[in-house]
């Protein structure tokens, strides 16, 4: 009985240790990874044409997306959101910026680096920075 209790305590301690390690693990940042360069038009066309194939190529990857700013706004959390125009007027790449203070105006040409989170009516990038 004592041996079972000791083994159980060791397993619980190992589980708690692993959980604490994962909880406190540093958050991965876009600037720490190599980015795949792509234009907003090509990216939005890829998702609109074949979402499953585009997910396989781009989902959860760090992308450096170049394009023309079509909209600048703030989301419900107060973060700056920049939309780069896609190949047609209803598509594009929505980039949620990590920090405030990004200077962008409609019509500006920019490259934005961030994590690809998938597609709704636009391609979604999060944790974005201007490299």
Q: Give domain status of residue 6, yes or no.
A: no
Domain region containing 106? 30-129
Distance CA 80, CA 87 (A): 23
For the residues 20-31, what does the mean pLDDT come to? 73
Number of domains in the chain: 1
Distance CA 29, CA 21 (A): 18
Q: Give domain status of residue 20, yes or no.
A: no
Q: Which two tokens stand for residue 111?
A: 């490259």
Provide the pLDDT for residue 83.
93
Per residue in 35-60, pLDDT tens?
889 999 999 999 988 999 999 999 99
Residue 57 near residue 85 (C-beta atoms within 8 A):
no
């Amino acid at each position: 009985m004592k041996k079972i209790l000791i083994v159980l305590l060791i397993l619980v301690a190992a589980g708690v240790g692993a959980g604490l390690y994962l909880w406190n693990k540093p958050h991965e940042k876009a600037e720490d990874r190599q980015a795949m360069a792509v234009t907003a038009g090509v990216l939005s066309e890829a998702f609109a044409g074949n979402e499953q194939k585009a997910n396989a190529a781009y989902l959860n990857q760090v992308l450096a997306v170049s394009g023309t700013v079509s909209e600048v706004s703030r989301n419900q959390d107060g973060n700056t959101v920049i939309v780069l125009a896609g190949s047609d007027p209803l598509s594009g790449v929505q980039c949620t910026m990590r920090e405030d203070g990004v200077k962008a105006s409609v019509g500006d040409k920019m490259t934005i680096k961030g994590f690809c989170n998938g597609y709704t009516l636009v391609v979604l990038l999060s944790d974005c920075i201007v490299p």
